[in-house]
Amino acid sequence: MSIDQILQQPSPLPTASLDQLKEHITEQHFPKGHILLQADKIESVIYFIKKGIARAYSPTDDADITFWFGKEGDPVLSMKSYVANEKGYENVELLEDSELYVLPTRELRQLFEQDIHIANWGRRLAEKELIRTEERLICRQVRTATERYKDLLNDHPDLIRRVQLGHIASYLGITQVSLSRIRAELR
Amino acid sequence: MSIDQILQQPSPLPTASLDQLKEHITEQHFPKGHILLQADKIESVIYFIKKGIARAYSPTDDADITFWFGKEGDPVLSMKSYVANEKGYENVELLEDSELYVLPTRELRQLFEQDIHIANWGRRLAEKELIRTEERLICRQVRTATERYKDLLNDHPDLIRRVQLGHIASYLGITQVSLSRIRAELR
DNA sequence: TTAGTTTTTTATCATAAGTAAAATTTTATT
DNA sequence: AATAAAATTTTACTTATGATAAAAAACTAA
């Protein structure tokens, strides 16, 4: 996915502003298993996924809990770092060899103060993420695990293929065994 | 809570920008039980709670599911309407006689395009809401119902007093009976 | 291919949470 | 204060999900 396409996703940007952003963006490649963001660390860049797939998880005593997946076009950032300059609660791990666009938050913050189009772009970015997050929260409360699995199958069939079921189960808030049961019933 | 205090919450604003915002804000009072926002409707205003308490819920086949509480200082809006100009999925109901500040989204959108400070203010507003929502989502996945109840008791003790337990249980994602059991154990 | 590792499924048992209904407490109203 | 209505707790029973262990299947890499 091209950087232009990705940047225009939150909202269209005038060419000048787009170029401003692109000036600070570089490309990096990482192997499967690489940890992009670390909990307990103030992260200083945000990524956009050009190619690949990632998961965010909270490392707890026993098992990690996966609560987010990102793929081509999605932004990857520690919200806590980006918004509050505080340590986050998530690790982000690459689940495939991946290609990423990298933008330092320091530069981005400066652009927010200088360019109203970029400020509004950043606003739209946060707002769209907010809607996605809110939808997941509500969905989690309203729908059963089986329904949520079906939804996922519908909306992101590739995810099921690309990500191992343990992570999917954790994301759905159930055990892997339960997910297996659900899958068996649907067959 | 004063409108100045509330508006400065997402991020400090220069006086001129603050005044611009305030020009479009009016105050309204509503009784307990009043429905502020309706699902299946594109809402055209956002509220800030001066005094009172509200809950957002998704009306489903059998029981409503509460997924958000707001009190003094909190913004109340249908994110879907505000961000995407689409119908939302939530009703918002007042749980007490309340006093609200009202800001039409049409005017706000205009200000976003005209004033970079307001644009960044709107960005911070969305970002902070995003963090709150993300935290709730993760908390939901990571912590048990009992822990989440204790957290709530800790962070918002007034909520337990002001809101009936049926709503709290729904918010925690458990039945009222379960919540009763939890409370009994803590005694 | 073969051995080794990881992932997924199946089976069994234990437990936490749901449902329904009754009992109690709290709140509101005349 | 007395009654009614609403909210909360308790009880008994049922069901769904989790934990654990082990078998089966699917990948990996020599």
Per-residue pLDDT of B43-83, as tens digits, reads 999 999 999 999 999 887 777 889 999 999 999 999 888 88
B164 touches strand D (CB under 7 A): yes
Percentages of chain A per state (helix, strand, coil), in multiples of 5: 50, 25, 25
* pLDDT of A61 higher than 80: no
pLDDT at A47 over 80: yes
Q: What's the distance, CA B108 to chain centroid? A: 18
Give the residue among B99, B98, B49, B101 at the shortest CA–CA distance from B72: B49
> In whole angstroms, what is the distance from residue A147 CA to residue A145 CA?
5
B52 in Cβ contact with B100 (< 8 Å)? yes
A138 at B interface, C-beta within 8 A: yes
Contacts of B83 in chain A (CB under 8 A): 124, 127-128, 130-131
Q: What's the pLDDT band for A156 if we cut at 50, 70, 90?
A: very high
Q: Whose CA is closest to A38, among A80, A95, A73?
A: A80
Q: How far is CA A164 from CA A56, A61, A154, B39, B53, in A?
A: 14, 21, 17, 36, 43
The number of angstroms, rounded, from the C-alpha of B72 to the middle of its chain's C-alpha atoms is: 10
Percent of chain B scoring above 70 in pLDDT: 99
- A chain contacts of residue B81, beta-carbon cutoff 8 Å: none
Both tokens of A46, joined, read 């945000």
What does the pLDDT read at residue B88?
87
Would an 8 Å CB–CB cutoff place B139 in contact with chain A?
A: no
Cα–Cα distance for residue pair A84/A78, rounded to 1 Å: 10
Spatial contact of A87 and A81, defined as CB atoms under 8 Å apart: yes
Rounded Cα gap, residues B56 and B144, in angstroms: 22
Are B65 and B136 in contact, with CB atoms under 8 Å apart?
no
Res B162: pLDDT: 94
How high is the pLDDT of residue B79?
A: 87
Predicted local distance difference test score (pLDDT) of residue A79: 87
The confidence score (pLDDT) of residue A132 equals 92
A34: three-class secondary structure by DSSP? coil
Q: Which residue of A66, A112, A128, A137 to mutate against B (max B Cβ within 10 Å)? A: A137
Determine how β-strand A91-94 pairs with β-strand A98-104: unpaired
Tell me the β-bridge partners of A69.
Answer: A55
Which of B122, B124, B133 is opposite residue A137, by nearest beta carbon? Answer: B133
Would you say residue A16 has pLDDT above 80? yes
Question: Which residue of chain B is at minimal alpha-carbon distance from A140?
Answer: B137
**Residue A11, pLDDT score:** 93
Contacts of A30 (CB under 8 A, 6+ apart): A36, A94, A97, A98, A100
Checking each nucleotide's C1' against the CA of B169, the nearest proves to be D8
Distance separating alpha carbons of residues A165 and A69, to the nearest angstrom? 13
Strands A53-59 and A91-94: antiparallel
Could you tell me the pTM of the whole model?
Answer: 0.92
| Contact residues on chain A for B134, CB-CB shorter than 8 A | 79, 133
Identity of the residue in A120, A135, A173 whose CB atom sits nearest the CB atom of B119: A120
- Single-letter code of the amino acid located at B49: I
Between the alpha carbon of residue A123 and those of residues A151, B109, B125, the distances in Å are 28, 11, 9
How distant is C1' of C24 from CA of A183, in Å? 45
Alpha-carbon distance B125 to B7, whole Å? 9
d(CA B159, CA A159): 39
d(CA B119, CA B116): 5
Mutation target vs A (from B138, B144, B168; most A CBs, 10 A cutoff): B138
Q: Which helix (H) or strand (E) holds B12?
A: none
Give the model confidence (pLDDT) of A90-141 as tens digits.
Answer: 899 999 999 999 999 999 999 999 999 999 999 999 999 999 998 888 888 8
**Spatial distance between the Cα atoms of B57 and B91, rounded to a whole number of angstroms:** 5
Among candidate residues B111, B40, B112, the one with its CA nearest the CA of residue B81: B40
Contacts of B120 in chain A (CB under 8 A): 112-113, 119, 122-123
Contact A133 B138 (CB under 8 A): no
A145: pLDDT confidence band, cut at 50, 70 and 90?
confident
In chain A, beta strands by DSSP E? 26-30, 35-37, 45-51, 53-59, 64-71, 75-76, 91-94, 98-104
Query: Which of helix, strand or coil describes residue A75?
Result: strand
In this structure, what is the dihedral angle of CA atoms B4, B8, B14, B17, given to the nearest 10 degrees?
Answer: -70
* Predicted confidence (pLDDT) per residue in A164-187, tens digit: 999 999 999 999 999 999 999 887
Total CB pairs under 8 A between chain A and B: 104
Nearest Cα residue to B55 out of B41, B74, B80: B74
Kindly determine whether residue B127 and residue A79, on different chains, have CB atoms separated by under 8 Å.
yes
Strand D–CB B183 distance below 7 A = yes
| Closest Cβ opposite residue A65 in set B89, B112, B142 | B142
Q: How confident is the model at residue A4 (pLDDT cuts 50, 70, 90)?
A: very high
Q: Is the CB of A175 less than 7 A from some atom of nucleic acid strand D?
A: yes
Q: pLDDT for B125-175, tens place per residue?
A: 999 999 999 888 888 888 888 989 999 999 999 999 999 999 999 999 999
CA distance B170 to A47: 36
- What are the structure tokens assigned to A179, written together? 């997910």
